[in-house]
Amino acid sequence: MQGLNSDSRGRRVHELLASIESNEEKTKGIVGFFYRMYINETIKFLQDCQGSLILDVGSGEGVILKDTCLKSVQIDISYKRLLDARKYNSSLICADAYKLPFKENCFECILLIAILEHVRTPFEIIKEVYRVAKINAKIVILIPNDINMSLGRALLFKFPPRYPGHLSFITPCKLKVWLKDRFIVEQAYPLPFRNLGFALGMYYFLVARKV
């Protein structure tokens, strides 16, 4: 596991959140039902990426890919989460997603699963992902519906209602504008119900290809 310099304030915030709640804990109970839902959606898509080199940005403890045989490099700003991820993967890097420690055109598939809402300038992350992605590489993005998630947390008596680590409110329209001219969107739909729209859903799942 390689350590790199990163934004110290951002790292402190993420280390604090890691000490309060692990990704493993999120897979349990009612919250776990929704958490596992988008993990399963991601894994289902990745079945077509066998043999590809995958970059998992903001991988946390590696929960998403832990039960797969997929070849991945996992990067997270939280050193504590990566220590916990060692039982699943050895290709771990502690670094900031704003400055990915890779040369251009490296990866064939990049995951941004429930990550962009945790940063103040998501567009800068997308630009950096574009830089390290190969031509025709797939980028897989999942964003939450922060309004519905906050309502759910309030109903479960979780406070503050908005998840403490969420810094940006992202809509599908914003996301598609950020991807424009860099990626072609190939799939995009809300979860858990594809036909009800993002306003009534919990998440938005999107797959795009670098052009």
The whole-number pLDDT of residue 3 equals 37
pTM: 0.89
The reported pLDDT for the residue numbered 8 is 58
pLDDT at residue 7, as a whole number: 53
Calpha distance 64→42 (Å, rounded): 8
Please tell me the predicted confidence (pLDDT) of residue 82.
94
Is 60 in contact with 76 (CB distance < 8 Å)?
yes
**Per-residue model confidence (pLDDT) at position 72:** 94
**Residue 10: per-residue pLDDT:** 65
pLDDT of residue 33: 84
Distance (Å) of CA 186 to CA 4, 144, 181: 34, 19, 14
Q: Which of these, 116, 124, 104, 108, lies nearest to 141 by C-alpha position? A: 116
Placement of tokens 């990704």 in the chain: 23
Sequential pLDDT tens for the chain (211 residues) = 443 334 556 677 777 777 777 666 666 777 788 888 999 999 999 988 888 999 999 999 998 998 888 989 999 999 999 999 999 888 999 999 999 999 999 999 999 999 999 999 999 999 999 999 999 999 999 999 999 999 998 998 888 999 888 999 999 999 999 999 999 999 999 999 999 999 999 999 999 999 9
DSSP state letter for 131: H
